[in-house]
Amino acid sequence: MPVMDRLKIRPDFLRAARGIRRSTGSLTLELCPTPEAVTGHIRVGFTASRKVGNAVARNRAKRRLRAAAAAVLPLHGRDGHDYVLVARTATLTRDFADLLNDLSGALTAAHARLDKPNRGDAN
């Protein structure tokens, strides 16, 4: 089972924002390969803008995202990748089982996009 490390510095969040992005009703997932891939490690970060609500609401949304990530990423995450979970207003009210389904669906779609070869490649 991979070890989950936290993303804490802004350049890591910006790099993930330039990667693959999948949105669901309750969250947005941003994914990119880790620059220095370490086997057995997944890096994950959480963010919530002021659009989600006041500080109490943002903290609650991030707690829910942390719990969902702890349940889903060890099973479906890939070693050597950075994941950023962005809270949306629906993160606060969505049933937790549905939040888990949203995250696993976004992971599946993002990994499928990651595995798809680029159309511009000559190979």
The fold adopted by the segment(s) 3-110 is Ribosomal Protein S5; domain 2 (3.30.230)
- Per-residue pLDDT band for 4 (boundaries 50, 70, 90) equals confident
Q: Using the 8-state DSSP alphabet, how is residue 49 labeled?
A: -
Does pLDDT of 24 surpass 90?
Answer: yes
Q: What is the pLDDT of residues 29-66, one digit of tens each?
A: 999 988 886 677 899 999 999 999 999 999 999 999 99
Tally: H helices and E strands in the chain: 3, 5
Does pLDDT of 100 surpass 50?
Answer: yes
Q: What is the pTM of this model?
A: 0.89
Q: Coil, strand, or helix at residue 122?
A: coil
- Per-residue pLDDT band for 123 (boundaries 50, 70, 90) equals very low
Question: Could you tell me the residue ranges of all domains in the chain?
Answer: 3-110
Helices (H), the chain: 10-17, 55-76, 96-115
Find, among 89, 86, 41, the residue nearest to 68 by Cα.
Answer: 86
